[in-house]
Amino acid sequence: MIEPHGGILINQILEGNERKIAMASARKLKKIVISEEQIKEVKNIARGLLSPIKGYMRREDLESVVLHSRLKNKTVFPLPIFLTVFANEASGMKRGKQVALVNGKRDIIALLNVNDIYTYNKKKFAKFVFGTTDKKHPGVENLYNSGEVFLGGEILLIDNSKKPYYKYNLDPKETRVLFAKRGWKSIVGFQTRNVIHRGHEYLQKCILEIVDGLFVNPVIGIKKKGDFKDELIIKSYETAIKEYYSRSKVVFSILPYQMRYAGPREAVLHAIIRKNFGCTHFIVGRDHAGVGKYYGPYDAQNIFDKIKNIGIKIMKIDEAFYCKKCVGMATQNTCGHPEDTKIRLSGTYIRSLITGGDKPVPEEIMRPEVSQLLHNSKAPFI
């Protein structure tokens, strides 16, 4: 089995008596309310998805990641993992103390050992990490709207619940056991934030010809307006895998995660996360983790020519399309027919078909069972 990033799979989950003691102490601690998306990140840290990260970055690590896409110890890590609070919330906090992280109902999620309290130039952060300081970029907007005080330190998770999609919410320890039980030596990770269409199915099956197993791992959580709803993404893959795949060759599990839309840098983080799950290969397509026109169509692929030593093989895949002349799916590597014979399966095009007509999406674009699922949904988009 491939090593986790940094050589060790992090586990910051409290159990048994340790958890009871932590729950009791948390009631007396200063409390910081975190959002549902931040709760997802806390759990991802504790479960090892972001190994070797154990918590929120101290200033030295954050600075190194911002400037060099590496932790202070030189381990590749492309995006800062951070928590900010406003100055009034930080009042009275001291290094070496604990605070409790709670949800909006004041339920205790985790403890944070506060090892560092600092400020950081957010324009510098945005310029290096997102490549822009434009507030219209969703990642930049979230950064600028967050508090001015950064907290660094290890997380101790108390609430390890996996609702609402617990059936498909596997952590790296579980996927690694599952892959091993199936005897898989090579596993390709596939990320998506869309329902499945024929292009994605074609690419996945092509790669299944050369690896032992496919790990389909869609992003679940707040994305941008117009993206498909989580439940439809899950149901579309349930349907497609049941009807059109060799089920012994596929593992489906969600990734509860807040997209930062950081383009190339986020593509590297996505690869590291799949490495921690146990994948040996990861698919990076055009415009991976991009938004608007902030990044070039192949920037997310090209960054892996500069950052090479992350320990997982990157598969740079071009888009698949339906060719009327070939009467089937193809890519530019297998089809040389004119552009007017090709149906491009972009998310924008598929959304327009769903919203613009009373008929299901054509079979050349989407399997009829998946198309009917969307057709029956009154509100498929966020």
Instruction: Give the tens place of pLDDT for each residue, 367-378.
Output: 999 999 988 887
Same domain, 173 and 143: no
Q: Is residue 294 part of a domain?
A: no
| 165 phi, psi to nearest 5 deg | -110, 50
Calculate what percentage of the chain has a pLDDT beyond 70: 99
Q: Is residue 47 part of a domain?
A: yes
Judge whether 193 counts as a catalytic residue: yes
Judge whether 145 counts as a catalytic residue: no
What b-and-e string marks burial along 338-365, b requiring 16 or more CB atoms within 10 Å of the CB?
eeeebbebbbeebbebbeeeeebbeebb
3-state secondary structure of 271: helix
CB 213 within 8 A of CB 182: yes
The residue annotated as part of the active site, out of 193, 198, 265, 367, is: 193
Same domain, 145 and 207: no
The residue annotated as part of the active site, out of 44, 113, 169, 194, is: 194
Q: Is the pLDDT of residue 245 over 70?
A: yes
pLDDT for 357: 67
pLDDT in tens, 135-180: 999 999 999 999 999 999 999 999 999 988 999 999 999 999 999 9
pLDDT in tens, 32-45: 999 999 999 999 99
Same domain, 181 and 324: yes
Number of domains in the chain: 2
Per the DSSP assignment, residues forming a β-bridge with 110 are 101, 157
Q: Which domain holds residue 361?
A: 166-259+318-376
pTM: 0.96
Cα–Cα distance measured from residue 73 to residue 125, given in angstroms and rounded to the nearest whole number? 20
Closest CA to 81 of 62, 64, 103, 100: 62
